[in-house]
């Protein structure tokens, strides 16, 4: 079956154009909310969320169901990617997928975006338990749902990231390179692709290549005004340069990363937490790293059931404690409990076993 494509932005922009021609101020406002919210997503994600929710309400009031669906998908995005409110994101993603499946929305150009939010939500909450389901959803989207360009690109990203989660690095690299290839015309997507490639190269101990990728990530992030990604790219480069013995330049880039991240209002776990901890670990500054993981533990909401970040925070903390010679059975048990919160704990529990592998280094993550 040949793939069908839809055009999201031409539809969206035509909506704005018609509103302008008709001097329809309310529809024009509905159109402009997206730009405005996008602008605030990293510096004031709460503001972006409020704007997008207003978009949903306004679209409903104006009887624009496809626009309402579009803004609901945008709400999920900000919940997951900029506020780390994964459970809320999952709940809304589920709702809007059910809604978008109805006959009335078959021609809505935002439909593919809606479907991919469910993949994003499961990927961010419990990826290792849902690998089969995520793979099936990706295949379904690829084969049965008309896609817009960007959603099509993101499917490659998820294939790459899923393979990375499963430690299938060659496959992940292959998918990430495909992702990069089809993202050539989008600086925004290229940044993401370079980020994945850099991370993969790092996991495979190919630091030189990782440095190249993360430098390219920096370049495209600058072009696309992606400040969070820019901070991440500096953080990666700092780590990789340090590992190559260039500690002075590494420190400069690290400070740059922190300064860049400090201008954002993203939750800590999305705002260079991993970048900082990797760097401190590499320098042997375990107290600093432990402080950040402990802080994260305080910030997390234990009532949320399906959060892999909850598990990984405890796991990473354990590795730091092991390096410091302070790891206790209570810490491991806490991590084990976090693993048991996941739908299929086995793959998570297996990672805890690495704490007993007798190695003296923190494994790359």
Partner 1 sequence: MDDNKRQFQIHLPGLLKVLAENLYSTPKVAVRELLQNAHDSCVRRSVEDKRPSARARIDVRIDPDAQTIIVQDNGSGLTEDEVVQYLSTIGRSYTRQLGENLSLMSPEVSEKLIGQFGLGFLSAFLIASQVTLTTRSMKPDSPTYQWQSNGDIHYDLKTVDDAPIGTQVKLLVKPSVAYLLNESVLVSAIQHYADFLPIPVHVNGSSMAVNAIHPPWEAIDPTIATQDYIARKFAMEHPLAVIPLHDHKIDLGHDSITIPMRGFLFIPPSSTASIQEYGDLSIYIRRMFICENQRDLLPNWARFVRGVIDCPALEPTASREELRREEVYLLVQQALEQQLSASLHELARTDTMRWKQIVRGHRDVIMGWAVKNNDFFEHIASIVTFRTTRGHLTLPGYLALTDDAVYYVTHDMDNKQEQMLGEGFGMPVLDASRFGEIGFLQKYVDYHPRVRLVQMDSGTNRFMHPVPEEPFARVLAYYRSRKIRVQIMAFKPDVLPAIISYPKEAEFVRDARSALDTGDIPDAFAGMIGAYLSKMTVDEESLAGALYLNANNAFVQALVTVEDDEKLEPVLDLLHQMARLLAGRLLDAEKITALFENTNTALTRLIQ
Residue among 103 and 329 whose Cβ is closer to partner 1? 103
CA distance 335 to 331: 6
Single out the residue of 87, 133, 219, 246 in contact with partner 1 (rule: CB under 8 A): 133
By the rule CB under 8 A, 247 interacts with partner 1: no
CA 22 remoteness from chain centre: 39
Closest distance of CB 164 from partner 1, Å: 21
Which residues, 302 to 361, sit near partner 1 by CB under 8 A? none
Q: Count of residues binding partner 1 (CB under 8 A)?
A: 35
Closest distance of CB 31 from partner 1, Å: 9
Q: How many CA atoms lie within 13 A of 15 on its CB side?
A: 25
By the rule CB under 8 A, 139 interacts with partner 1: yes
Beta carbons within 10 angstroms of residue 24's beta carbon: 14
Using the contact rule CB under 8 A, the part of the chain among 75-83, 89-97, 148-156, 253-261 near partner 1 is 89-97
Closest distance of CB 111 from partner 1, Å: 11
Using the contact rule CB under 8 A, the part of the chain among 31-39, 177-185, 311-319, 334-342 near partner 1 is 31-39
Which residues, 54 to 73, sit near partner 1 by CB under 8 A? 54, 57, 61
Beta carbons within 10 angstroms of residue 59's beta carbon: 21
Closest distance of CB 337 from partner 1, Å: 21
Is 148 within 8 Å of 329 (Cβ atoms)? no
Residue among 121 and 277 whose Cβ is closer to partner 1? 121
Q: What is the DSSP string of 293-329?
A: HHHHHHHS-TT--S-HHHHHHHHHHHHHHHHHT---H
Closest distance of CB 33 from partner 1, Å: 5
Using the contact rule CB under 8 A, the part of the chain among 133-141, 167-175, 275-283, 331-339 near partner 1 is 133-141
Is 113 within 8 Å of 126 (Cβ atoms)? no
Single out the residue of 7, 22, 98, 324 in contact with partner 1 (rule: CB under 8 A): 98
Structure tokens at 181: 């290839």
By the rule CB under 8 A, 223 interacts with partner 1: no
By the rule CB under 8 A, 222 interacts with partner 1: no
By the rule CB under 8 A, 265 interacts with partner 1: yes
According to DSSP H, which parts of the chain are helical?
A: 8-21, 25-40, 45-61, 65-77, 86-100, 111-126, 131-144, 149-165, 169-182, 187-203, 207-223, 227-243, 247-262, 273-282, 286-299, 308-324, 329-340, 346-353
CA distance 299 to 340: 20
CA distance 290 to 282: 13
Instruction: List own/partner pairs for 59-66 with CB under 8 A and 24 or more apart.
Output: 59/30, 62/26, 62/27, 62/30, 64/27, 64/30, 65/104, 65/105, 65/108, 66/105, 66/108, 66/109, 66/110
By the rule CB under 8 A, 101 interacts with partner 1: yes
Residue among 136 and 350 whose Cβ is closer to partner 1? 136
Residue among 121 and 197 whose Cβ is closer to partner 1? 121
Give me the residues that bind partner 1 (CB under 8 A), please.
25, 28-29, 32-33, 36, 43-44, 46-47, 50-51, 54, 57, 61, 91, 94-95, 97-99, 101-103, 115, 118, 122, 133, 136-137, 139-140, 144-145, 265
């Amino acid at each position: 079956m040949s793939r069908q494509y839809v055009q999201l932005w031409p539809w969206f922009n035509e909506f704005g154009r018609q509103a302008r021609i008709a001097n329809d101020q309310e529809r024009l406002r509905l159109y402009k909310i997206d730009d405005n919210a996008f602008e605030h997503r990293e510096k004031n994600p709460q503001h972006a969320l409020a704007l997008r929710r207003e978009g949903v309400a306004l679209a409903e009031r104006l009887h624009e169901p496809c626009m309402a669906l579009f803004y609901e998908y945008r709400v999920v995005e900000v919940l997951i990617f900029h506020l780390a409110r994964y459970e809320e994101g999952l709940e809304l993603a589920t709702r809007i997928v059910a809604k978008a499946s109805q006959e009335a929305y078959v021609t809505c150009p935002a439909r593919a975006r809606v479907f991919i939010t469910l993949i994003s939500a499961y990927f961010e909450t419990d990826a290792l338990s849902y690998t089969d389901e995520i793979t099936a959803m990706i295949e379904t989207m690829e084969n049965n749902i008309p896609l817009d360009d960007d959603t099509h690109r993101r499917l490659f990203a998820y294939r790459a990231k899923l393979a990375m989660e499963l430690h299938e690095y060659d496959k992940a690299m292959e998918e990430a390179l495909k992702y990069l290839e089809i993202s050539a015309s989008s600086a925004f997507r290229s940044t993401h692709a370079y980020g994945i490639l850099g991370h993969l190269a790092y996991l495979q101990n190919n630091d030189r290549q990782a440095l190249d990728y993360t430098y390219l990530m920096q370049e495209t992030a600058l072009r696309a005004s992606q400040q969070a990604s820019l901070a991440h790219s500096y953080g990666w480069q700092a780590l990789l340069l340090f590992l190559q013995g260039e500690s002075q330049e590494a420190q400069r880039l690290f400070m740059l990363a922190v300064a860049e991240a400090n201008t954002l209002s993203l939750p800590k776990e999305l705002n260079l937490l991993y970048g900082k901890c990797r760097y401190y670990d590499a320098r042997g500054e375990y107290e600093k790293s432990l402080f950040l993981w402990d802080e994260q533990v305080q910030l997390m909401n234990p009532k949320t059931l399906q959060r892999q970040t909850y598990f990984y925070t405890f796991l990473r903390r354990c590795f730091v404690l092991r390096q410091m010679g302070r790891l206790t059975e209570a810490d491991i048990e806490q991590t084990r409990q976090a693993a048991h919160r996941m739908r299929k704990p086995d793959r998570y529990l297996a990672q805890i076993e690495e704490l007993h592998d007798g190695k003296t280094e923190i494994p790359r993550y």
